Amino acid sequence: MDQAETPEIAHTHVVFDDGLLLDSGAALGRLVVAYRTYGTLNAAGSNAILVCHALTGDQYVAERHPLTGRDGWWAAVVGPGLPIDTDRFFVICANVLGGCMGSTGPASPRDDDPATRWGTDFPAVTIRDMVRAQKRLIDQLGIARLFAVIGGSMGGMQVLEWAATYPDAVFAAVPIATAAYHSAQNIAFNEVGRQAIFADPDWLGGRYWQHGRVPARGLAVARMVAHITYLSEQALTRKFGRRLRGNEAVGLVEDIFEVESYLRHQGSSFVRRFDAASYLTITRATDYFDLAADFGGDLSAAFRATRARFCVISFSSDWLYPTAESRAVARALNRVAANVSFVEIASDKGHDAFLLDEPDFHRALAGFLAGCAEHAGLAG
Amino acid sequence: MDQAETPEIAHTHVVFDDGLLLDSGAALGRLVVAYRTYGTLNAAGSNAILVCHALTGDQYVAERHPLTGRDGWWAAVVGPGLPIDTDRFFVICANVLGGCMGSTGPASPRDDDPATRWGTDFPAVTIRDMVRAQKRLIDQLGIARLFAVIGGSMGGMQVLEWAATYPDAVFAAVPIATAAYHSAQNIAFNEVGRQAIFADPDWLGGRYWQHGRVPARGLAVARMVAHITYLSEQALTRKFGRRLRGNEAVGLVEDIFEVESYLRHQGSSFVRRFDAASYLTITRATDYFDLAADFGGDLSAAFRATRARFCVISFSSDWLYPTAESRAVARALNRVAANVSFVEIASDKGHDAFLLDEPDFHRALAGFLAGCAEHAGLAG
């Protein structure tokens, strides 16, 4: 596929010229963190909420996306009067390290040759590396302690990592639809997506940038398989069942079920906003994630220093990050006598429920934040 | 990938020169059915068991596979003294219509131009078309009524279709780890596999045969994603957990988890024995399958004429064809007062359990067949 050059967008960002040392041992000479904020930081700097985005999300949480023109991915949750109330809180979201929406990633200029991009030479990053980059931004914004860190899926991994790595900088933590490690099944699904990218003729051994190509078909397949894992069987059936598209003749090649057409659309629209090398970098980061392993195999040990209040949230039909994995996080927190609530939201929408209109979830989130705000002495 | 030309193997087969009329309305001018048998047909012709193979299986049930050199896919179940006892029963298995192990399929010569292969011009086939082809073989072998029809997964769909289409020709039926229709989620996973094949540069719009190529990478990705759905999360975790391979450096491209290496092996070994166009044909056949739809939406109606004894078997950790779908089949049979037993085998091995060493499953199968043999007046 010929590359329709991604329009260059001026993302709000900060540059750290001293770079960042990564878990892998590699050092980035220059670190850019692109971010968006909503609401107003109070004089005490005590009302900041960091929202952490998921695998294919970005910092455009609650506004029109500059590339797709669509609403922000959490427009139903973040805004005036919404569960994360921007009349009350100062909300920050940063594009993750390794991403492709303005933060340093595979599409960024190389340290050793700024005229070319990193591509697949970009060093491997971890969830902790992402969190370290966010911490630099938070420091830069003059915020000593976040009122809350909140995120779903890979965003929830970042929440857990914040609590473990910067225990004094987090007053409240809300890991949603997530786990303390990536399961073998999740690694396997990610690997299918990566192999689909490598199989694309326009992958060109990872040098697609240099040839003005993008491995669009492979990336679309990767998105398709991931998308299935985000939905429950019930949600797929409700949306599509076994309905056929129109009266098309039965054939080998054409998509004939509505679900196929939907998946193809998901795949093809994704490639217009996402870079394949970023997809590899970020899926790898989730695969590496195993918080207990960094603490001698004891998940509780990761939370020993935290004084944060936790609200761990799962969804009953999420089979990518099942409730049992959230419960394991809650148990580990209990073992160190942390302040933790655990809520399983009854939903048939699967993993994606955290992005959708789920009133019970929104009520639980708003209620938890209101209680924490009271304890933090934030004016109502 | 250059094609290492598939060795031509002389499969045992019968040719029907009057061809086969398909559900799609298309007519095959010539029908070849490749098959294998085990054991001896008794004088009355009353001890025949038809085994129906799954998506990527074939007729080499209980012997060394001529292409891979490995044991037959059901060597643990079919043989002397085994649950399907070849000392007692005459076991038949035919390569499905649309397959690539000797039966008519996309790799067969075209009716209108025998010098070339059908490729993607091969007409769409249904599970019922597969069963019709098997019926021709059974007639040819002089068998008026099968003692039993047995199969798992797509093989189970054929079992249900046999009972519905040829009710007088089936004494006992054992649909295993299957369903009466393909769910939206199953269609979606199949579609990912197909898109991966289409994305392969060697797909060449389906004309890969003519260019001596095979879309091996795409087919391998299709196999990988399917393989994940065959295993339970527990089975994947037990097999691999999050174990890393050796001490390789962390990088973007290399597979570093054992599960990745295993999946790549599954994918690459599969392409040596399977044709991509067959894969499309057969996955489409499973997607079309909706037995109730052929009977006005009433699954019970499909079984109105059957007098067969059924043993419906599911596995507790099978998430591709969950127990609920087997139970729905059993309920439909109950509504027409059919003779039906339903067994859910407790197993953590996922869908693949029907192929593996599962003593409870083997005991249930052997017990059911023994009971049926008694009722059929077969000498013990």
Using an 8 Å CB-CB cutoff, list chain A residues near B105: none
pLDDT digits (tens, 9 = 90+) for A70-113: 999 999 999 999 999 999 999 999 999 999 999 999 999 999 99
Query: CB of A133 within 8 A of CB of A56?
Result: no
Q: At A328, phi and psi to the nearest 5?
A: -65, -35
Q: Give dist(CA B15, CA A97) in Å, integer.
A: 62
Amino acid B71: pLDDT: 96
> Angle of helix B258-270 relative to helix B216-230, nearest 10 degrees?
120
In this model, does residue A2 exceed pLDDT 60?
A: no
Catalytic position from the list A317, A318, A326, A352: A318
Q: Domain ends where: B283, B316, B342?
A: B283
Has residue B200 been placed in a domain? yes
Q: Into how many domains does chain A fold?
A: 2
Q: Give dist(CA A56, CA A99) in Å, integer.
A: 9
Q: Give dist(CA B324, CA B346) in Å, integer.
A: 14
Are B183 and A233 inside 8 Å of each other by CB?
A: yes
Local confidence band at A1 (pLDDT 50, 70, 90 cut-offs): very low
Using an 8 Å CB-CB cutoff, list chain A residues near B120: 252-253
Q: Which residues of B are marked as active site? A: 153, 318, 351
Cα four-point dihedral sign B247, B252, B257, B261:
negative
Query: CB of B59 within 8 A of CB of B137?
Result: no
Please indicate, yes or no, whether residues A223 and A297 belong to a single structural domain of this protein: no
- Residue with token string 């031509």: B8
Q: At B327, phi and psi to the nearest 5?
A: -65, -35
Amino acid B1: pLDDT: 37
Catalytic position from the list A53, A65, A182, A351: A351
Query: CB of A362 within 8 A of CB of A313?
Result: no
Please indicate, yes or no, whether residues A252 and A142 belong to a single structural domain of this protein: no
A-B contacts at Cβ under 8 angstroms:
166
CATH of the domain at B160: 3.40.50.1820
Query: CB of B351 within 8 A of CB of B230?
Result: yes
pLDDT digits (tens, 9 = 90+) for A185-235: 999 999 999 999 998 989 998 889 889 898 998 999 999 999 999 999 888
Task: Kindly state whether A206 is in contact with chain B, defined as any CB-CB distance less than 8 angstroms.
Answer: yes
Amino acid B326: pLDDT: 98
Q: Domain ends where: B221, B250, B283?
A: B283
Q: Which of B122, B183, B191, B229 to probe by mutation at the A interface, max A CB count within 10 Å? A: B191
Copy the structure tokens of residue A242.
Answer: 């076994």
Amino acid B210: pLDDT: 87
Q: Give dist(CA A213, CA A216) in Å, integer.
A: 9
Using an 8 Å CB-CB cutoff, list chain A residues near B251: 124
Alpha helices in chain B (DSSP H): 127-140, 154-165, 184-198, 216-230, 233-239, 258-270, 276-288, 299-302, 323-335, 359-376
Cα four-point dihedral sign A237, B220, B92, B342:
negative
Owning domain of residue B259? 186-283
* Beta bridge partner(s), residue A49: A91, A148
Please tell me which of the candidates B120, B185, B199 has its beta carbon nearest to residue A228: B185
Has residue A2 been placed in a domain? no
DSSP B98-145: T-SSSSSSTTSBPSS-TTSB-GGGSPP--HHHHHHHHHHHHHHTT-SS
Has residue A201 been placed in a domain? yes
Has residue B8 been placed in a domain? no
Q: Domain ends where: A259, A283, A307?
A: A283
pLDDT digits (tens, 9 = 90+) for A270-297: 888 899 999 999 999 999 999 999 899 9
Please indicate, yes or no, whether residues B117 and B137 belong to a single structural domain of this protein: yes
Has residue B3 been placed in a domain? no
Are B191 and A224 inside 8 Å of each other by CB?
A: yes
pLDDT digits (tens, 9 = 90+) for A152-197: 999 999 999 999 999 999 999 999 999 999 999 999 999 999 999 9
Please indicate, yes or no, whether residues B23 and B170 belong to a single structural domain of this protein: yes
In this model, does residue B248 exceed pLDDT 50?
A: no
In this model, does residue B58 exceed pLDDT 60?
A: yes
Please indicate, yes or no, whether residues A146 and A197 belong to a single structural domain of this protein: no
Please indicate, yes or no, whether residues A276 and A303 belong to a single structural domain of this protein: no
Amino acid B244: pLDDT: 65
Overall residue count recorded for chain B in this entry: 380
Has residue A6 been placed in a domain? no
Please indicate, yes or no, whether residues B272 and B338 belong to a single structural domain of this protein: no
CATH of the domain at A268: 1.10.1740.110
Has residue A7 been placed in a domain? no
Give the mean pLDDT of A300-325: 97
Please tell me which of the candidates A199, A240, A281 has its beta carbon nearest to residue B200: A199
Local confidence band at A377 (pLDDT 50, 70, 90 cut-offs): very high
Amino acid B3: pLDDT: 39
Q: At A38, phi and psi to the nearest 5?
A: -140, 140
Residue type for position B224: M
CA distance A207 to chain B (A): 13
Query: CB of B175 within 8 A of CB of B158?
Result: no
* Beta bridge partner(s), residue B51: B93, B150
Q: Give dist(CA B54, CA B96) in Å, integer.
A: 9
Please indicate, yes or no, whether residues A34 and A144 belong to a single structural domain of this protein: yes
Query: CB of B94 within 8 A of CB of B35?
Result: yes
Please indicate, yes or no, whether residues A220 and A313 belong to a single structural domain of this protein: no
Has residue B1 been placed in a domain? no
How far, rounded to the nearest angstrom, does the alpha carbon of residue B274 sit from its chain's CA centroid?
13
Cα four-point dihedral sign A219, A222, A227, A230:
negative
Please indicate, yes or no, whether residues A179 and A193 belong to a single structural domain of this protein: no
* ipTM of this predicted structure: 0.86
Nearest CA in chain B to A257: B187
Amino acid A244: pLDDT: 65
pLDDT digits (tens, 9 = 90+) for B173-225: 999 999 999 999 999 999 999 999 998 989 998 889 889 898 998 999 999 89
Please indicate, yes or no, whether residues A21 and A105 belong to a single structural domain of this protein: yes
Mean pLDDT of chain B: 91
Please indicate, yes or no, whether residues A153 and A33 belong to a single structural domain of this protein: yes
